[in-house]
Homo-oligomer: A and B are copies of this chain.
Amino acid sequence: MTTLAVDCMGGDHGPRVTLAACRRFLDSHADARLLLVGLPEALKDFSHARASVVPASEVVGMDDPIEVALRRKKQSSMRIAIEQVHSGAAQAAVSAGNTGALMAIARYVLKTLDGIDRPAIASQLPNDKGGATTVLDLGANVDCSAEHLLQFAVMGSALVAALGGAAQPTVGLLNIGEEAIKGSEVIKRAGELLRAAGAAGTINFYGNVEGNDIFKGTADIVVCDGFVGNVALKASEGVASMIVGGLKQEFKRNLFTKLAALIAYPVLAALMKRMDYRRYNGAALLGLRGLVFKSHGSADELAFELALARAYDAARNNLLDRVRTRIDSAAPLLSADTAERSTATAQ
């Protein structure tokens, strides 16, 4: 039996969507149990043999500052969901609430794993090969050291393996050219560390990749700092929405184009389905002493259900132990590196 704690109040739509998604998820996962966390009034109409309500008296708003969410709303559904993981009542928590608040509360309640300086947010983006590329960090850390990027590579590898991808997924370092001499000092140093980790068998290092490689699927995992990852993600969303918007506009231009739209519709719908962001919903907060998954705030039933399924798979496949084991095996590299740098500083 795998138990998930669900923050039913989060997201743009709240219980209307989260509860409907919970029902679909329970129906398709006979081995799952859900702890539904939220205002009792909002959850009172839901009943299922494998679901129970955990009451909360507050809700973190999408615009609440992190400080408010963390210090003033100690009875929020988001916090209580994460506390279920901390107490061991659930193996993973899922929320569609405010990302900054979720990361801050998760970090405060669960703490980071030994060997991890900073948790990261990992998400999947569709690629040309019909699969998905896992990218991290997507916004939790604006300035990262080379060691942080190695930690991201190690955690991302554990995530992909736990979610049914390659056992030794390839890792690309996001850079502005394929050659090892490209990039900032931090990136060059990260390249050295990742190469060493590759040689030691800790990760399967592919080498440098560029922005377009995320969507080509050149490597299974792409690591970058959270600033760059966030900009790349949002720029990509911007292009996609410009193209889709442009298609709609062109097809609406006149009677002929409207007719063409009717005929082309099934083809366009097939394409949209392939690239549907909902299929990739459910970002992992990695590096914590417990599993937390973040759904898109605008998620609909299907998307939220898929985030639940992702958290369920991660919990069932022991993602937490996998991350721990991999981080332990990378420890010599991380500490050798620290020692070497102290020496360099001392000289």
Are B242 and A271 interface neighbours, CB within 8 A? no
Are B246 and A274 interface neighbours, CB within 8 A? yes
Are B260 and A176 interface neighbours, CB within 8 A? no
Secondary structure at chain A's binding surface: helix, strand, loop or mixed?
A: helix
**8 Å CB contact of A263 from B215, B237, B264:** B264
Are B230 and A231 interface neighbours, CB within 8 A? no
Interface assignment of A184: CB less than 8 Å from any CB of chain B = yes
Are B250 and A232 interface neighbours, CB within 8 A? no
Complex: how many Å from CA A215 to CA B236? 9
Q: Distance (Å) between the CB of A232 and the closest chain B CB?
A: 4
Interface assignment of A199: CB less than 8 Å from any CB of chain B = no
Are B275 and A230 interface neighbours, CB within 8 A? no
Interface string of A249-292 (1 = CB under 8 A from B): 01101001101110110111011001100000000000000000
Interface string of A208-231 (1 = CB under 8 A from B): 001111111000000010111011
Per assembly, the copies of the chain total 2
Interface assignment of A127: CB less than 8 Å from any CB of chain B = yes
Complex: how many Å from CA A241 to CA B240? 10
Residues of A within 8 A of B (CB): 126-128, 139, 142-143, 174, 176, 183-185, 187, 210-216, 224, 226-228, 230-243, 245-247, 250-251, 253, 256-257, 259-261, 263-264, 266-268, 270-271, 274-275
Knowing A246-B275, A271-B250, say if A184 contacts B263 (CB, 8 Å). no
Knowing A212-B234, A212-B235, say if A227 contacts B260 (CB, 8 Å). no
Residue of B nearest to A212 (CB): B238
Interface contacts beyond A211-B237, A239-B240: sample of 16 additional A-B pairs, CB < 8 Å, sorted by A = A142-B183, A142-B187, A184-B227, A211-B232, A211-B236, A213-B238, A216-B238, A224-B231, A240-B243, A243-B275, A246-B274, A250-B268, A250-B274, A257-B266, A257-B267, A264-B264
Q: Distance (Å) between the CB of A242 and the closest chain B CB?
A: 5
Residue of B nearest to A236 (CB): B239
Hey, which chain B residues are within 8 Å of A256, CB to CB? 266
